[in-house]
Structure 1
Amino acid sequence: MIIDMPNTRTREIAHKIEQLHEERGESATGRVLTLLIATEDADLEHALEIANSASREHPCRVIAVVPDTNPADQSGEGEPNAAEVAAEVSASRDNPAVDLTDGPNDPNDSNLNAQVRFGADAGAGEIIILRPRGGLINHPDTLVIPLLVPDAPVVAWWPTTPPSNPAKDLMGAMARSRITDALHSNNPEATIERLRRNWTPEDIDLSWTRLTVWRAMLASMLDQPPHLPITAAKVTGKADFLPMEMLCAWLRLKLGVPVETEFVPDAQAVTGVYLTREDGVISLERPYEDQALISLPGQTPQEVSVPMRTIEDCLTEELRRIDPDEIYAEVINEGWDLIRH
């Protein structure tokens, strides 16, 4: 079920959602969180598809904010005065009875289009798409607050290029967890450097989450006797691949040895990790997308299933955890500098 709500207000959206819940005989209290998505129109449907998949494990209310950068609308009204909109924002925060979506020049002009998706079109929850226009583009927090699920944590996700400082972003500031994906930004290296400079404990990047299976398998291999010290390490894989750099930073930080990198032509991700100790080389290789080979000195190599992680897998994992990731904090703040130097 998809319901378009042109030139609407947040109170009308909230009322429509309550009405739909009543008609379906369900309650929003079954939602475990509110997922805020900040994206552009071109990436919206892909982001919602990923959120729908993740919501099957974590029933949530998804609120996507997609700025309408074209001030013209069906009514032909021009862009409202930014100063007047800012005054409305201040008033609405001081007085909850004031609705920012009541146009400053015309009470019948809300400068907000919306769409509500329910049922099969919304995964295990509901989806609200907000398309603010004019001055409202600069105040997504005021639009989102009336639509949050009561007493449920808020998670903010930027599927592509995130703000330089997610903690100070208007939507990010209200979130208990802030999820970025520098790998899919317009410049991954520059993006991760900005995120590092402005890091807070609530921040996590999906480039790190993509390594969960690799880290777990490597830790399991090192837990097996004999527990000899690692003297050298090498990682192979795709060139200029941010998760590979994070894996190198983690190994350098935890093992205390230099980490060599080798780029493999046509590789799509990390293809192998080789850890040297006095009795031989421990290796974890992935020659194919869904299969890995574990090799330990003196033992027959063992094949294991290791499918490539999808964005849905990574987002689902982060929605499951929400709490700060201490290992990621160490890697991004300490390990990264070790491999850069």
Structure 2
Amino acid sequence: MIGLWDTTGNEVVKALAAERRSAGGVASGMALTLIVVTDEKRVRDAEAAATVAAAAHPCRLLVVVRADVERNRDRLDAEIVVGGRLGPCEAVVMRMYGRLALHAESVVMPLLVPDVPVVTWWHGEPPTEIATDFLGVVADRRITDTAQAPDPLAALRLRAEDYAPGDTDLAWTRITPWRTLVAGAFDTTQAQVTEATIVAPPKDPTAALMSGWLSSRLGITPRWEATEEFPRMRQVQLRCANGDELTLTRDDSRATFRRTGQQDRTLPLVRRPLGDELAEELRRLDADQVYAEALGASAGLADLDRRPAQRVHIWKDPTTAERTRAGATAHAGPADN
């Protein structure tokens, strides 16, 4: 491991090359570059998840920790790890302070592995518009997590409005086991589904995407039965034209599958660690059309997969917006009598 404090992007590039030579690493073995955008309080969780994902997908891991963008003096601290605590990958953890944090691409771009896809993952509240972050514009795949937002359903709506092919969300990844079990229930029947009910918390983005998926696949509008008794999606009920009812109910790490005229079955439905969810998304580097259709159905927007895949960078200075809001508040006063 090499630690560089108050350094420059050029020094980071040189130090990574030197560490690679000493460790015997070769860039030709890299399947992708994974950029992780996070903040200081989430960086350890992000590193742990990325380590698991890197074990399944050889990559160069670039962790960008943005902090204190209003600091008067720019600063870059970097930690370079090749085949160490972050797994079998080449990793650079960069803490950026001051205005440098708003121009992270100036340091990140020279570190991208040539001729391999780039994936950017925001571990934290997703950006309102991905095009305002150059690290998202340069990526072939972009992974967000609406569950990290204060209002997950509003964030999911923004993901639909801002969608471009190549986007995905970990809320979608979390319902992969649900979708697998629901789809498997129709291996032995051709009955048409006429109604569906989802039991879940009122702001659960996984339930919203499950509803969108059922709607896009079956042409129905599922009913959402809100409950505060459970922290995440609890149950999916399907009613068929022939009178059969299928119910999948989650209970901790397993689910009970009930079907009219058959005995109940217990099936695995484990909540996976964050690293496993990230690794699943790295398995595919093309656009996920099924996700686009489910997201569009949940938000009432059509043809998301027909939008242009490339974005044009939009410069946005968050500190200017904060100063504008602060100034407006300072000048606001009680109404004249």
Give the TM-score normalised by the residue count of structure 2.
Answer: 0.83
Match of 2:49 in 1: 50
Report % sequence identity.
31
- What are the Cα deviations for residues 24-76 of structure 1, in whole angstroms up to 9, with x where unaligned? 2231322211111111111111111111111110121111112231776xxxx
Return 5+ residue gaps in structure 1 as ranges: 73-77, 81-110
Amino acid at match of 2:257: I
What are the residue-to-residue correspondences of 1:327-338 with 2, within 5 Å? Answer: 327-337=290-300
Return 5+ residue gaps in structure 2 as ranges: 302-337
Kept after mapping to 2: 8 A contact 1:167/1:200: no
Distance (whole Å) between structure 2 residues aligned to residue 174 and residue 29 of structure 1: 20
Question: Which region of structure 1 is more displaced relative to structure 2, 303-312 or 146-155?
Answer: 303-312
How far off is 1:265 after superposition?
4.0
Kept after mapping to 2: 8 A contact 1:283/1:296: yes
Distance (whole Å) between structure 2 residues aligned to residue 266 and residue 204 of structure 1: 28
1:274 aligns with 2:273: no
Match of 1:292 in 2: 255
* Secondary structure at the counterpart of residue 247 of structure 2: strand
* Secondary structure at the counterpart of residue 231 of structure 1: strand
How far off is 1:268 after superposition?
2.5
Change (3 A) 1:229 1:30: same
What are the residue-to-residue correspondences of 1:97-136 with 2, within 5 Å? Answer: 111-136=75-100
- Which ranges of 4 or more aligned residues in structure 1 deviate by more than 6 Å? none
Amino acid at match of 1:10: G
Match of 1:251 in 2: 214
Match of 1:23 in 2: 22
Distance (whole Å) between structure 1 residues aligned to residue 48 and residue 143 of structure 2: 17
1:152 aligns with 2:139: no
Kept after mapping to 2: 8 A contact 1:36/1:64: yes
Match of 2:11 in 1: 12
Match of 2:315 in 1: none
Match of 1:239 in 2: 202
Amino acid at match of 1:38: V
Distance (whole Å) between structure 2 residues aligned to residue 50 and residue 22 of structure 1: 26
Match of 2:326 in 1: none
Change (3 A) 1:49 1:228: same
What are the residue-to-residue correspondences of 1:304-323 with 2, within 5 Å? Answer: 304-323=267-286
Kept after mapping to 1: 8 A contact 2:215/2:297: no
How far off is 1:158 after superposition?
0.4
How far off is 1:168 after superposition?
4.3
Amino acid at match of 2:65: V
Match of 2:150 in 1: 186
Distance (whole Å) between structure 2 residues aligned to residue 190 and residue 334 of structure 1: 15
Match of 1:212 in 2: 176
- What are the Cα deviations for residues 104-134 of structure 1, in whole angstroms up to 9, with x where unaligned? xxxxxxx322111233311120221222333
Distance (whole Å) between structure 2 residues aligned to residue 155 and residue 18 of structure 1: 21
Give the TM-score normalised by the residue count of structure 1.
Answer: 0.82
Match of 1:169 in 2: 133
Amino acid at match of 2:26: S
